[in-house]
Structure formats: C-alpha cells, structure tokens
Amino acid sequence: MIRRSLLTAALIVAGSVAVAPKAMAQSVDVPFTGSVGGVCNVGQVTPGVLVADGPTPGNPTALFADSPMGGSRGKVAVSCNQQAEVSVSSPQQTGGPSFIPIWSNSSVESPYGWSNADHNGAISSHQIPSGMGIELLVSMHVDKGVALVPGVYSYVTTVSITPF
C-alpha cells in the first residue's frame, strides 16, 4: 500500500511538472538620454593700458586703450566646445576722478569678426567657432570733452562669450 501511495505521489508530481508552464525569458530595452551643454573656458586675461590723448597737446580730454600715442588693448584667451556669440559692454569707470563722458565705447575683436558697445546703448555681437586658443582683443575709449583732471583712471568692460 505504501508502494502504491508512493507511486501515486510520484505520478502526481511528475504530471504537475509536465503540465506546469515553462519559464520564458524576456528582454526589455531601457532608454537613456543625456545632454552636454556648450561651455567656453576663459584662460589668461591680460589687462589693457589706457593713454591720455586729446585735440590739444598737453591738455588731454580722452582715454584710449589703442591709440597712436600708446596704450594697449586687453587680451582674453578663450576656447569653446561649440560655436559662441561674443559681445562687450560699454566701459564702466571703477577708479580715478569721476566724470560723465560725452562719448564712450568698447570693442572686442577676434579672427572671426568684432563687436562693440557705446554709451548710447548700441551693442553688436559676432560669432566664433568651436576650437582652442582663440584670442580676443578688447579696446575702449572714453572722452570727457574737456580737459581731464590729473589722476589714475580705471575702467572695466565685460566681455560675454555665450555658447549656442
């Protein structure tokens, strides 16, 4: 009787295994997305040097960063991983005897074009390609219209480099 019970139990188990559904392997794709934004890295910044000049020798009315009388443009080394737009702000006085200029402008030049900004709010921009080692040359000019007071004058212009 025990043998019959064991045989019956064995047949039931074997039948259950034979009738049970087989495991099916399945695959599914899992998507991933990501983005890499444009980046411009600014390297060395070389300050510009202003020189006083004017229509009357010995009586300067204006300050120039690039003049036959001297001065030098500032320089900015930049590299971008995609195209970028370059613009500059008009000069802002940060030191020295204060005055309101009758004229002021800034410019930034690259091998691919130039941009400028003036005291009237006119602003232009130009594009630079992606790449390494692009040198931007920055210049500025302010004119008081009358003789400048002796002193050490300081200005700043903001160069904006925006990847797009």
Tokens of 59: 């009586």
Question: For the whole model, what pTM was predicted?
Answer: 0.76
Tokens of 107: 């410019």
What does the radius of gyration of the chain's CA atoms come to, in whole angstroms? 36
Q: pLDDT tens, 34-61?
A: 888 889 999 999 999 999 998 877 889 9
Q: pLDDT tens, 59-80?
A: 899 999 987 778 999 999 999 9
Q: How far apart are CA 124 and CA 106, in angstroms?
A: 11
Q: pLDDT tens, 67-125?
A: 777 899 999 999 999 999 999 999 999 999 999 999 999 999 999 999 999 999 999 99
Q: How far apart are CA 135 and CA 138, in angstroms?
A: 10
**What class has domain 40-163?**
mainly beta
